[in-house]
Structure 1
Amino acid sequence: MRHEKAAAALAAILLAVAAPAAAADYTLNVNTALSVNDPLFRGLESFRDGVAEATGGRLEVRLFPNSQLGPDEDVLEQARAGAPVAVVVDGGRLAVFQNEFGVLGAPYLASGYDGMRRVVTSDLFEEWVEALRAASGHQVLSFNWWQGERHLLTKHPVDGPADLSGVRLRTPGAPVWVETISAMGATPTPMPWGEVYSALQQNVIDAAEAQLPAVVGARLDEVVTHITKTGHINLITGLVTSAAWFDGLPEDVQQALREQALAAGDVASYGTRDALAQIEADLTARGVTIREIDVTPFREATAGVYDKLGYGELRDTLQAIAEAE
């Protein structure tokens, strides 16, 4: 009898191990243009694991780096249609739906992560989140995914705006980016991030601008020779999904999604901050010339972007929030 019970117990254990894991009740596919080597991707992995634990496995997050689900704009449209997708996206791309988001990508709004975090966790920002839901059907899970300050990536030294005259410089197509790059002296040339390497290699464009982790992830050190640390845009991004899909989730799952997105955004952002010095050292070792310059001429050249896009008053409000202790 004892042997029979032991055999039965062993059979039950083997059956449990062999059986496939129970399928999740809900699935969220997350798209990012960045590679798995980017510090931000570590945050996405933290988000995936945190959501699984917080929901008891009821919601499965699947990660798709290198824009596997398509360009950011396409995924945003999928979300508007109610698909269970999310995308890591900057405010400029959301400004076409809710104008205030564009100011997050405006030049020299704040420096570093902590100030930007105060902005995107403020009561004012939450008002924008609700307005975006009503305007476009998008749900922001969190917007504290800091990717670093963006710098100029060129094939020649740059000291000031005059050195960018006639330079075809890739940028995202949102108005705030286009106006910023134009004000800096270059000719803005919008194109998807995934096309930048080949465009530089084939001289379709002359230059680009990006944060240091993205330079490594896209191997742009192979096609540019100079990085000029202008820090012209402090890139804060958000994890954005479908409001219709989100509203169909149980309330506790909704709460878990937003809480885990905020926590994972900190993982991503502080991981990025801590990685920057080593990334810069690695790029230098590969032969890229990285230079600090006086950015005052660029600050002065881009100051008018705020008023041109109607963000003048908002800039003062957000800078006060960013600087508050």
Structure 2
Amino acid sequence: MKFAHPIALALAGAAMLAYPALAQDVTISVGFGPVIDTPYGQGHVKWQRLLEEKSGGSMELEIFPSDQLGNGKQMLDQMLLGEPLCYSTDASFFAELGVPDMSIVQAPFLFESWDQAERLFDSDWWASLEDQLAAKGVKVVAHNWRYGERQTLTNVLVEHPADFAGLKIRAPQAAIYVKTFEHLGASPTPMALAEVYTSLQQGVIDGLENPLSVIHGGKYQEAAKFLLIDNHMRTVNLMGCSTALYDSLTPEQQALLSETAREAGAYQNGLLEASNEEVLAQLVAEGVTVTEADFQEFAAAVESFYNDPAFSGWSEGLHQKVLDIMNAE
């Protein structure tokens, strides 16, 4: 797949798949799913400014919201081909590139707090997984972008796990999401975020799952009026680029790319935390009915998830290892 956008390094005469050593100006295209007017979108705007300022204008990001450059799977495929791109999404997508253990961080009802998630992502165990991913062709430059607590918006009232039976729920195109809603009894329907609004209006799907900021930013509440606060996942996104791109940068440029990505991630996290309460109030004001899920009830409903054959590639004892790391004092 080729894009009409200028996704190339700004180096005269550079071929798409053959990167010379870069010593001067660099332009990198960065894609992501949410719309620009969300904390996530504004985090990318912050990153764009930080990188330009700290590099003295020699490094520049071109940002493309709403999956304009392609959805998560398409973007990762492009990275493996060596395209000079950055893309941020959750670990389950990266896991499908050949590091299956990564996907467990997206298991439903795993994290009860952000502290647990941060402890896991900052561990030596996680660093080893990022090394494995780099060997597959994708370099993680930041792992601190909180995508948020994921909630579920539907066009019918959902209060208990049994209420999901037969509902067509939009899910990202990764096994971890598909299996989560299968184990809740729903019919998961993968599609790009850009297609969700129309699909809700036309009855192609009955709902979607995402953080509050993304739900409100996409105006999906105009087509579905029931919000379940279930916190089924606490998602931390990875900011990745092709190793071909990363290795073409000088050490100074590599450090700047990672440093500014992490700083922008922390900025985004602050925006997200501040906006959640406000967004929830806005959704209620727009006629959305809000239901608080019983976390333990839903967690019990998906216990079978950890024995699903789809995750037979996980290392033996992985679930317990993760619990031990994230609960360590």
Offset of residue 282 of structure 1? 0.6
Gaps of 5+ in 2: 1-23
In 2, Cα distance between equivalents of 1:90 and 1:104: 9
Letter in 2 for 1:79: M
In 2, Cα distance between equivalents of 1:119 and 1:87: 22
Cα deviations across residues 255-303 of structure 1 (Å, max 9, x unaligned)? 1211221221111122211210000001111111111131322101112
In 2, Cα distance between equivalents of 1:42 and 1:113: 21
Match of 2:320 among 304, 316, 320: 316
Contact 1:230 1:293 in 2 (8 A): yes
In 2, Cα distance between equivalents of 1:300 and 1:70: 36
Offset of residue 56 of structure 1? 2.4
Cα deviations across residues 200-233 of structure 1 (Å, max 9, x unaligned)? 1101111211110111111101011100111111
In 2, Cα distance between equivalents of 1:167 and 1:131: 37
Find the counterpart in structure 2 of residue 128 from structure 1.
Answer: 129
Contact 1:88 1:237 in 2 (8 A): yes
Correspondence 1:247-262 to 2 at 5 A: 247-262=247-262
Q: 1:114 to 1:44 in 2, by over 3 A?
A: farther
In 2, Cα distance between equivalents of 1:313 and 1:229: 30
Offset of residue 28 of structure 1? 1.0
In 2, Cα distance between equivalents of 1:55 and 1:103: 36
- Bigger mean CA offset, 303-312 vs 168-177: 303-312
- Bigger mean CA offset, 289-298 vs 232-241: 289-298
Q: 1:132 to 1:95 in 2, by over 3 A?
A: same
- Bigger mean CA offset, 171-180 vs 301-310: 301-310
In 2, Cα distance between equivalents of 1:112 and 1:169: 25
Contact 1:171 1:191 in 2 (8 A): yes
Partner-residue secondary structure (3-state), 1:287: coil
Partner-residue secondary structure (3-state), 2:133: helix
In 2, Cα distance between equivalents of 1:323 and 1:93: 25
In 2, Cα distance between equivalents of 1:165 and 1:43: 36
Matching of residue 226 in structure 1 with residue 193 in structure 2: no
In 2, Cα distance between equivalents of 1:280 and 1:132: 36
In 2, Cα distance between equivalents of 1:28 and 1:206: 37
Structure number with higher helix proportion: 1
Partner-residue secondary structure (3-state), 2:317: helix
In 2, Cα distance between equivalents of 1:57 and 1:313: 48
Offset of residue 306 of structure 1? 2.3
In 2, Cα distance between equivalents of 1:293 and 1:42: 30
Letter in 2 for 1:301: A
In 1, Cα distance between equivalents of 2:192 and 2:127: 29
Find the counterpart in structure 1 of residue 9 from structure 2.
Answer: none
Contact 1:107 1:303 in 2 (8 A): no
Correspondence 1:143-154 to 2 at 5 A: 143-154=143-154
Partner-residue secondary structure (3-state), 1:253: helix
Moved runs in structure 1, 4+ residues, more than 4 A?
A: none
Contact 1:109 1:315 in 2 (8 A): no
TM-score w.r.t. the length of structure 1 is: 0.88
Offset of residue 244 of structure 1? 0.8
In 1, Cα distance between equivalents of 2:177 and 2:254: 32
Correspondence 1:47-62 to 2 at 5 A: 47-62=47-62
In 1, Cα distance between equivalents of 2:145 and 2:43: 8
Letter in 1 for 2:73: E
Contact 2:109 2:295 in 1 (8 A): no
Rg comparison, structure with higher value: 1
Count of residues in correspondence between the two structures: 302
In 2, Cα distance between equivalents of 1:319 and 1:283: 34
Cα deviations across residues 222-257 of structure 1 (Å, max 9, x unaligned)? 011100111111121111111011001001111121
In 1, Cα distance between equivalents of 2:163 and 2:282: 26
Partner-residue secondary structure (3-state), 2:66: coil
Cα deviations across residues 129-183 of structure 1 (Å, max 9, x unaligned)? 1101112x01111121112111121112112111111111111121111111111
Partner-residue secondary structure (3-state), 2:103: helix
Letter in 2 for 1:49: R
Find the counterpart in structure 2 of residue 101 from structure 1.
Answer: 102
In 1, Cα distance between equivalents of 2:116 and 2:46: 23
Letter in 2 for 1:227: L
Partner-residue secondary structure (3-state), 1:150: strand
Partner-residue secondary structure (3-state), 1:111: coil
Offset of residue 58 of structure 1? 1.9
Letter in 1 for 2:260: Q
Partner-residue secondary structure (3-state), 2:284: helix
Contact 1:112 1:149 in 2 (8 A): no
